[in-house]
Structure 1
Amino acid sequence: MNFYRKPNLMLPVSLHDARVEKIAMRRGEKPLSGELVLYFPEGIRAEMKGKWDITGSAEVRLGGIDWDFSGIRYYEGDAVKERSFEEFTADLEESSFEIVDESYGYNRSVFSGYRYQEGFFRVEMEIYHFKEAEYFYEAAPVEEVGDLSE
């Protein structure tokens, strides 16, 4: 009998409770050449020196995007609205997107959370990409560093 155990990966970064203030995108001339950058001016959570802390400003870059299998959905009451990435970019000028849950696998990154617009509503962003996600972040100012390991 063959056996394989899939590791439950724990990334040294987390977008939980991080707020996307804006995104930048490029569709690309060729298939799978698109790029998407999520900006987090208030930072993300990262393991630094053995402790979990809030970073300084951060961004997440996703490349090799297949736009045909990527999308954004707004769940407002009983309605589900599909939004384009261009529409979502404009929407972020009014309010941020707070990520509550993130999942990765099979060339997909899925971020779900909430936006506020006359009340909170759920948002899900699904990105199908062929390049690895890249996380860039600044160290937090010394006075803001805390221990989030608990």
Structure 2
Amino acid sequence: MNFYSKPNPILPVSLHDARVEEISLRRGEKTLSGELTLYFPEGIRAEVEGEWVITGPGEVRFGGIDWDFSGIRCYEGDSVTERSFEEFSADLKESSWEIVEESYGYNRSVFAGYRYRDGFFRVEMEIYHFKETVYFYEDAPEEDMEDFSE
């Protein structure tokens, strides 16, 4: 009998409880040449010198986007609506989106969380991409650094 155990990698960054205030996108002229960037002015969680802290402002870039298999769904009451990335970018001028769940798999990143418009509603973003995800963030001011280690 053959056996393989897939490791469960723990990333040194997390978007859990991070607020997306803005997104930008570039569709690209060739297939899989687009880029999507999520902006987090309040920072993200990162492991710094063995401790989990909330960083200063940050952004996450996804490249090589396959737009045909990427999308945004909003769940309000009993209805589900699909939003384009352009529409969702405009929506963020009204209120931010807080990520609660994040999942990464074969060329896919999926985020789910909540926005507010006459009450909270769930938003899921699925990004199908073929280039590495790159996380950029500034150090938090020393007085703002909290330890989130378990």
TM-score range relative to shorter protein: over 0.9
- Divergent runs of 4+, >6 A: none
Secondary structure, in 3 states, of the residue corresponding to 1:86? Answer: helix
1:79-131 CA-to-partner distances (Å, cap 9, x unmatched) read: 00000000000000000010000000010000000000110000000000000
Taking the TM superposition and a 5 Å limit, the aligned residue runs for 1:4-19 are 4-19=4-19
Secondary structure, in 3 states, of the residue corresponding to 1:43? Answer: coil
TM-score by length of 1: 0.99
- State the AA in 1 paired with 2:70: S
Give unpaired runs (5+ residues) of structure 1: none
Give, in whole Å, the separation in 2 of the partners of 1:146 and 1:64: 35
| Partner in structure 2 of residue 60 of structure 1 | 60
Secondary structure, in 3 states, of the residue corresponding to 1:2? Answer: coil
- State the AA in 2 paired with 1:25: L
Give, in whole Å, the separation in 1 of the partners of 2:31 and 2:147: 43
Shift, 1:3, TM fit: 1.3
Is it true that 1:134 corresponds to 2:134 in the alignment? yes
TM-score by length of 2: 0.99
1:29-76 CA-to-partner distances (Å, cap 9, x unmatched) read: 000001000000000000001100000000000000000000000000
Give, in whole Å, the separation in 1 of the partners of 2:3 and 2:34: 37
CA RMSD of aligned residues (A): 0.5
- State the AA in 1 paired with 2:18: A
Give unpaired runs (5+ residues) of structure 2: none
Shift, 1:9, TM fit: 1.1
Taking the TM superposition and a 5 Å limit, the aligned residue runs for 1:16-95 are 16-95=16-95
Give, in whole Å, the separation in 2 of the partners of 1:117 and 1:34: 29
How many pairs were matched up? 150
| Partner in structure 1 of residue 102 of structure 2 | 102
Give, in whole Å, the separation in 2 of the partners of 1:110 and 1:33: 19
User: Taking every aligned residue pair, what percent have the same amino acid on both sides?
Assistant: 78
- State the AA in 1 paired with 2:58: A
Shift, 1:134, TM fit: 0.5
